Amino acid sequence: MKAVCSYRGIGAEHGKYIDACDALAYAMLRCGITWEPSGDFIPDCQHEFEDALVDWFYSSNWEPVRMEDMP
């Protein structure tokens, strides 16, 4: 599977485009999530959570745009 370069909003998000490099920050902002490392902080879990959040957030009102889809 080719890498996603951006997400194009559909439905309620119509007209929005989010670059893949900004996808996590935008999803966290919209969900009200912030990272505040503590003594129990486990970096491996952070990466796993970030990947899951991006997959979940962009699974409904967003369409992934891959490089081969670009005009």
pLDDT at 32: 95
* Residue written as token pair 């998000």: 13
What are the phi and psi torsion angles at 57 (to 5°)?
Answer: -60, -40
Read off the pTM.
0.80
Answer for the pair 11, 61: CB distance below 8 angstroms, yes or no: yes
Query: In terms of Cα–Cα distance, which of 38, 31, 21, 20 is closest to 53?
Result: 31
Residue 60 DSSP label: S
Taking only the tens of pLDDT, the chain with its 71 residues reads 568 899 999 999 999 999 999 999 999 999 999 877 666 666 777 888 899 999 999 999 999 998 776 65
Distance of CA 30 to CAs 1, 13, 37, 44, 68, Å? 27, 12, 20, 23, 28
Domain boundaries of the chain, sorted by first residue:
4-69
